[in-house]
A and B are shown apart, each in its own frame.
Chain A
Amino acid sequence: MKILDVRKVRKQFGALVALHDVDLTLEEGEILGVIGPNGAGKSTLFNIVAGLDNPTAGAVYFRGRSTAGLGADAVCRLGIAKTFQIPQLYPRLRVEENVLVAALYGHGSDLATGRKDARDWLAFVGLGAKADSPADSLSVSERRRADLARVLATGAPLLLLDENMAGLNQAEVDGVVRLLREVRARGRSLLVTEHIMQAILDLADRVVVLNYGEKIAEGRPADVMRDPVVVKAYLGDAVV
């Protein structure tokens, strides 16, 4: 059963085609990496899948159901939750309350269950000790983990992680990779975009490469990285 089916999605901003009829599928429990140079259309694709933006043409299906016409909140409740490239917070709420909102509204929990879930997910991402701190006291790396706890708390089976490791050091990146494997082991499917190539290669079952809004390659990470078309897109002609 496919959890996500992106069919011929096109996004045009005036004359600029940001996404050129992109097809993409994700199986239940799979980790799919989306890579590509800056401006390849990764974030546009993620925003469309998450309902934060509408495609010019094409459609997105979640477990066979079209998400056309649904706002980001309805898409989240349906089962797709996305982290933000620049981690977002409710600055004047406590860290626990930040995650709690996602449990209450994304997952539909009551207050008592939501609180417990929020604490559990914060402990899971290693922020258990910060639960009662003001949200705006978190460091960049902590904000990324809090954002991860938030999407986990929505209960969404499909998580979109938009450069969740940007700005982290090597040890922190390894920690996040371990965490995401554990997330998958708990039954979630992941769509991941990342600039840190090693992390994607370690993590993803399959990789899709975008360049100028077009899908130029797809397959197992090791195979894709040897594909001359991909190498050219990343490094230019001279190397090949």
Chain B
Amino acid sequence: MLLPLAIRPYPLRVATVIFMWAALAGSWNLLAGYAGAVDLGPVVYYGLGAFVTAAGMVKGGWPFIVSAAVAGVVAMIIAFLVGTPTLRLRGAYFAIGTLALAESGKQLALAWDRLTKIPLTGGSAGISLPLTRGYTLFYYVMLTLMAAVVATALWLRDSRFGYGLRAVGENDRLAEASGVDIHGLKRRVYVGSALVIALTGGTAGYWLSYVNAAEVFSASVTFQMVVMTLLGGLGTPLGPVLGAAFLTLCSEFLGTRFVYHYLIAIGVIIVIIPLFLPAGLVGLPRLWRGERAPGSA
């Protein structure tokens, strides 16, 4: 697994895609699965990361790592400014607010060059990045990002911060009355996940060597993060990884065999899994042992 030199390019590429989605879904899971705040606009940091990284490399002439780091810092600053008011919204209002934010981000990216006269996003045409040799850099970067997210989720299981966050997710009024600064805790998670998502977006943009606003700000990126997390297991450290692996492999397997109809099969799978595994794929071993999954009536 850690020796990409030993395997061929195709499995390596699929593994990289899985790690990328696991990092993205895992970041979403930290806020939604633990703190109970459903963010429908995480893609805004993916798009932001992609464009800032691209601008750094193409316009600034900086190396990839430096550009990605700058993108991460920019995403954290914006997440802090955006999170301060929006994280005070509860439930559906937070979801709608963040969804609107992501759409505004897309429109801003499309209009940026025209509005500011500073050519960065290339409008609807997008921008191209320098081509790279091989896949190993992306494999390792995505693997690192996924590992960081999983390690964070594991740490939340038994840490002061994790207990505070789970308390907020389970009953925010009670958490507040017990001394938990709900807003401060949520904001730290929001800013942290913005960092990971921006780094992932920047890496993905460089990998594909092409970034355009309609794609990197697409709501479908958000929804894929949500679906993978729910399929794998919300609020569990490994759920998003399982969900990302499962859905990516399904798409690869079915997509190559049933080019025109595979999305129908994917849709059926997405409906069937929650019916039998309400806790997600992480509940599979329990099902095998014949126990009733928690949450099923």
How many chain A residues touch the partner (CB < 8 A)? 30
Q: How far is the CB of B90 from chain A (nearest CB, A)?
A: 15
- Kindly state whether residue A97 has any CB partner on chain B within 8 Å: yes
List B residues 130-174 near A (Cβ within 8 Å): 158-160, 163-164, 166-167, 170-171, 173-174
Q: Is the CB of A91 within 8 A of B160?
A: no
- Say yes or no: B174 contacts A72, CB within 8 Å: no
Interface presence of A92 (CB below 8 A): yes
In contact, A106 and B178 (Cβ under 8 angstroms): yes
Q: How far is the CB of B283 from chain A (nearest CB, A)?
A: 14
B215 beta carbon closer than 8 Å to chain A: no
Residues in A neighbouring B164, C-beta threshold 8 A? 101, 104-105
Residues in chain A near residue B182, CB distance under 8 A: 73
Render A68-110 as a binary contact track against B, CB cut-off 8 A, 1 for contact.
0001111011000110100011111100010011101111001
Provided the pairs A73-B182, A101-B164 are in contact, do residues A82 and B177 lie with their beta carbons within 8 angstroms? yes
Q: How far is the CA of A74 from the CA of B177 in the complex (A)?
A: 9
A76 and B178 contact, CB distance less than 8 A: yes
Q: Determine if B252 is an interface residue (Cβ-Cβ < 8 Å).
A: no
List, in ascending order, chain B residues with CB within 8 A of A158's CB.
none
Query: Would you call A50 and B178 a contact (CB within 8 A)?
Result: no
Asked if B179 is at the interface of the complex by the 8 Å CB criterion, the answer is yes
Q: Is the CB of A111 closer than 8 A to any CB of chain B? A: yes
Known: A73-B182, A104-B164. A111 touches B177 (CB 8 A): no
- The reply on B273 being an interface residue by CB < 8 A is no
Given known A100-B163, A101-B163, contact A73–B181 (CB-CB < 8 A): yes
Chain B residues whose C-beta falls within 8 Å of the C-beta of A76 in the assembled complex: 176-179
How far is B178's CA from A82's CA once the two chains are assembled, in angstroms? 9
* Chain A neighbourhood of B159, CB < 8 A: 111
Q: Does A150 interact with chain B (Cβ within 8 Å)?
A: yes
Q: Provided the pairs A101-B163, A110-B160, A111-B159 are in contact, do residues A93 and B179 lie with their beta carbons within 8 angstroms?
A: no
In the complex, whether A154 has a CB less than 8 A from a CB of chain B is: yes
| Bound complex: CA A73 to CA B175 (Å) | 8
Contact B160 A104 (CB under 8 A): yes
Please determine whether B171 and A88 come into contact, CB atoms closer than 8 angstroms: yes
Contact of B174 among A74, A88, A92, A111 (CB under 8 A): A88
Cβ of A52 under 8 Å from chain B? yes
Contact A97 B173 (CB under 8 A): no
Contact A97 B163 (CB under 8 A): yes
B214 within 8 A of A: no
B180: Cβ under 8 A from any A Cβ: yes
Q: How far is the CA of A57 from the CA of B166 in the complex (A)?
A: 35
Q: Distance in Å from the Cβ of B190 to the closest Cβ of chain A?
A: 18
User: Contacts of A105 on B, CB cut-off 8 Å?
Assistant: 164, 167, 175, 178-181
Q: How far is the CA of A78 from the CA of B244 in the complex (A)?
A: 44
Q: Give Cα A50–Cα B166 distance, bound, in whole angstroms.
A: 22
**Is A101 within 8 A of B177, CB to CB?**
no
Q: Give A81 to B175 CA distance when docked, in angstroms.
A: 12
Report A213 CB to chain B, min CB distance, Å: 23
Complex CA gap A50/B174 in Å reads 12
Known contacts A90-B167, A90-B171, A93-B170; decide if A111 and B160 are in contact (CB<8 Å). Answer: yes
Residues of chain A with a CB closer than 8 A to B173's CB: 52, 88
Report A-chain residues with C-beta under 8 Å of the C-beta of B160.
104, 110-111, 114
B167 touches A101 (CB 8 A): yes
- Which residues in A have their C-beta under 8 angstroms from that of B179? 73, 76-77, 81, 102, 105-107, 154
Instruction: Give the complex CA separation of A88 and B172 in angstroms.
Output: 10
Q: Return chain B residues, CB-CB under 8 Å to A104.
A: 160, 163-164
What are the residues of chain B within 8 A of A110 when measuring CB–CB?
Answer: 160
Name the CB-closest residue of A to B235: A92
**Distance of A110 Cα from B158 Cα, bound (Å):** 12
A207, B158: Cα distance in complex, Å: 44
Q: For the complex formed, measure the closest distance between the CB of B163 and the CB atoms of chain A, giving whole angstroms.
A: 5
Are A150 and B178 in touch, CB under 8 angstroms?
A: yes
Measured between beta carbons, the chain A residues less than 8 angstroms from B175 are 73, 90, 101, 105
Give the one of A52, A73, A77, A154 with max B CB within 10 A: A73
Within 8 A of A (CB), among B168-201: 170-171, 173-182
Q: List 8 A-B contacts (CB under 8 A).
A: A71-B176, A73-B179, A81-B177, A84-B174, A90-B167, A91-B170, A91-B171, A105-B175
Contact surface of B with A, Cβ cutoff 8 Å: 158-160, 163-164, 166-167, 170-171, 173-182
Besides A74-B181, A88-B173, 13 new A-B residue pairs in contact (Cβ under 8 A), listed by A number: A71-B181, A73-B180, A76-B176, A90-B167, A90-B171, A93-B166, A100-B163, A101-B167, A105-B180, A106-B178, A106-B179, A111-B159, A154-B178
Top 5 A-B pairs ranked by shortest CB distance?
A: A106-B179, A90-B170, A105-B179, A76-B179, A88-B174
Q: Name A residues whose Cβ lies closer than 8 Å to a Cβ of B.
A: 50, 52, 71-74, 76-77, 81-82, 84, 88-93, 97, 100-102, 104-107, 110-111, 114, 150, 154
